[in-house]
Structure 1
Amino acid sequence: MRSPFARDDTKRAAELRQAGEAASAPFGELVAEAERIAASVMMGVHGQRRRGLGETFWEYRHHRSEDGAAAVDWRMSAKSADLYVRENEQESANTVWLWRDGSATMDFSSSRNLPLKKDRAAVCMIAMAALLSRGGERIAVLGESARARSGELGLERTSLRLASGPGSLASVEAAPISRYGRVVLASDFLDPIETWRSRLSRYAAMQAGGALLRIIDPMEEDFPFKGRTKFESVDDREHLLFGRAEEARKAYRHRWQEHGDRLAELARAYGWTLVTHRTDRPATQAVLALYRALAREV
């Protein structure tokens, strides 16, 4: 006689498998879309000379406080009153750190026909990961990967984290990266410009280059509202009520444009590239722009 516990275990296993397949379905769809995008983007040229961790001498530079005493080249430093660090040419693959914002403002879409900002950001970042991995780069998710990896294993793990990871802002603010690495941040960048200036300043100290992918929903840019309209914050703790929303359109669009212009200026100040992408437009355009931006840095 078969034990009833065996039937219960079998049923439970089937339920768990069904739940797991349902939970992973969106991930599979995101990856499939990203792969289609990556396949349509022409890859640039890799392997050019960069400062890094190789063994071939590149140049001397002045010592900085964050380098520590161990980095000082004492033979060169003894020839002058200054401290110097010996930099070498990078001979291994470059490292690119990817990040997809998981904030509440990214969990938004103004239409059923448009993706969530979070999902579009994930698709673009996974497509970038695929392109970079195929080009021999090491890739990692900022604050979520134990170490950067290359090849299929690196792509698989990176894709999973980009699709379903928390995307914490703490990762942007404090997660360690390698010196001279490259960073791609995907967000709506709605926080104040000074907040983002503070976040990006640490990458400048690490001499890391990169790009910002600004994901916006068309409603956020167009402000199509008319008549009596109530606007609520993402946590439902604050709201604004307009009797005639169209009267606020001009002022809103001015502030929106000003924020975008200041974000572009911030990116340029650090030698980065800003790519703005609306979710009602093909993701291929954004991925191609990002990839070209990174290729120019090499």
Structure 2
Amino acid sequence: MRQPTVQDAPQLRAEAEAASGHLPALILAAERLAAMVAPGAHGLRRAGPGEDFWQYRPASSGDGLRAIDWRRSARSDAEFVRDREAQTAQSAAIWISGGQGMHYAGDGRDSKLQRARLIALALSMLLLRGGEKVALLGQPARAGRLQADRMAEALLADTQSDAAQASALRPQGRVILISDFLTDPDWLPEFLDHAAGMGVRGIALQILDPDEAHFPFDGAVDFRDMAGGQRHLSRDAGSLREAYLARLNERREWLADQTARRGWQSGCHVTDEDPATRLAALWSALGGGR
């Protein structure tokens, strides 16, 4: 990989400033989206190590003197123990494709990359509020409120590859893969096999623009890829619709099969759909709102 040079510095600085300018808007949008799905943190609803009060219960023979809540016990003839709600910190890693196609956006819509970042950050906020650790795949997972800000900065600054790296996996964690999965996904089966061998489970989320999901084109259309390397001029785009949708359906079925056979889940989100619906599905699939 080519290393940055001195001549690259002004461009890198400009890109960093542009990214930081979007940071407050991304955080605000993600906070609003997360609040629509699950306003508060969700623990495991059982007694154990944690910070939040769960319940008072009568003391039993196994409770030591230090466990007794004497203030509560003074209001009655019995002794009571103050239980806290257990919160087991798990780790979740999020990967967003860095492929050029993720920048595509139809008229007046978010790009697939923008929507992926929004859903990823909102999901991170929900997981962090539940006491879990979160990071981008390959980065150290952390818990706490500050990690949401770090995630927002990383999502805007980090350009991940078009293939998730199995070497970045950590045992027993959970992974959320977000991509359009339209380019050749030959890397995915090996990645999923490696994950399964490490006890890692997760979700593969396909994000599409409505143009890609429905192929509304008719007449003469000049198709170009986002990298500018390929071009196809069609005089009758409508005649391509049936074959295109069949290929897209094949890819969706392949993605569903590859994930299911390794104990993963898959889903599809189109950018003209409500992101809250997809976020709620991801949150539920990860065990949120127990």
- Do they fold alike, i.e. is TM over 0.5? yes
- Is 1:99 aligned to residue 91 of structure 2? no
Cα gap change, 1:124/1:19 in structure 2, threshold over 3 Å: closer, same or farther?
closer
Q: Give the aligned CA root-mean-square deviation in angstroms.
A: 2.5
- Is 1:272 aligned to residue 264 of structure 2? yes
CA-to-aligned-CA distance 1:216-268 (integer Å, 9 cap, x gap): 00000111111111211222222112121111111111111111111111121
- The count of corresponding residues between Structure 1 and Structure 2 is 237
- Residues 41 and 126, structure 2, Cα contact 8 Å, conserved in 1: no
CA-to-aligned-CA distance 1:142-182 (integer Å, 9 cap, x gap): 12x2x211001222212211233112245x22442321100
- Output the CA distance in 2 between the equivalents of 1:18 and 1:213: 31
The equivalent residue for 2:57 is none
- Is 1:155 aligned to residue 145 of structure 2? no
Q: Give the secondary structure class of the aligned counterpart of 2:135.
A: strand
Q: Give the secondary structure class of the aligned counterpart of 2:168.
A: coil
2:33 equivalent among 14, 37, 60? 37
- Output the CA distance in 2 between the equivalents of 1:22 and 1:206: 38
- Is 1:286 aligned to residue 278 of structure 2? yes
- Residues 175 and 200, structure 2, Cα contact 8 Å, conserved in 1: yes
- Residues 102 and 167, structure 1, Cα contact 8 Å, conserved in 2: yes
- Residues 227 and 244, structure 1, Cα contact 8 Å, conserved in 2: yes
CA-to-aligned-CA distance 1:72-122 (integer Å, 9 cap, x gap): xxxxxxxxxxxxxxxxxxx841000111222111011011x2101001000
- Output the CA distance in 2 between the equivalents of 1:286 and 1:266: 21
The equivalent residue for 1:28 is 24
- Residues 208 and 269, structure 2, Cα contact 8 Å, conserved in 1: yes
- Residues 193 and 259, structure 1, Cα contact 8 Å, conserved in 2: no
Q: Give the secondary structure class of the aligned counterpart of 2:266.
A: strand
- Is 1:115 aligned to residue 110 of structure 2? yes
The equivalent residue for 1:192 is 184
2:160 equivalent among 161, 167, 171? 167
The equivalent residue for 1:134 is 129
TM-score by length of 1: 0.73
- Output the CA distance in 2 between the equivalents of 1:24 and 1:231: 33
- Residues 172 and 200, structure 2, Cα contact 8 Å, conserved in 1: yes
1:242 equivalent among 214, 223, 234? 234
- Output the CA distance in 2 between the equivalents of 1:118 and 1:241: 26
Q: Give the secondary structure class of the aligned counterpart of 2:216.
A: coil
Q: Give the secondary structure class of the aligned counterpart of 2:204.
A: strand
- Is 1:209 aligned to residue 201 of structure 2? yes
Question: What stretches of structure 2 of length at least 5 have no aligned partner?
Answer: 1-12, 47-86
TM-score by length of 2: 0.75
- Output the CA distance in 2 between the equivalents of 1:201 and 1:162: 26
CA-to-aligned-CA distance 1:196-234 (integer Å, 9 cap, x gap): 212222111111011112110000011111111121122
Bigger helix share = 1
In structure 1, what residue type is equivalent to 2:252? G
Shift >6 Å, 4+ stretches: 17-21
- Output the CA distance in 2 between the equivalents of 1:289 and 1:273: 11
Question: What stretches of structure 1 of length at least 5 have no aligned partner?
Answer: 1-16, 50-90
Q: Give the secondary structure class of the aligned counterpart of 2:145.
A: helix
Q: Which moved more, 1:196-205 or 1:244-253?
A: 196-205
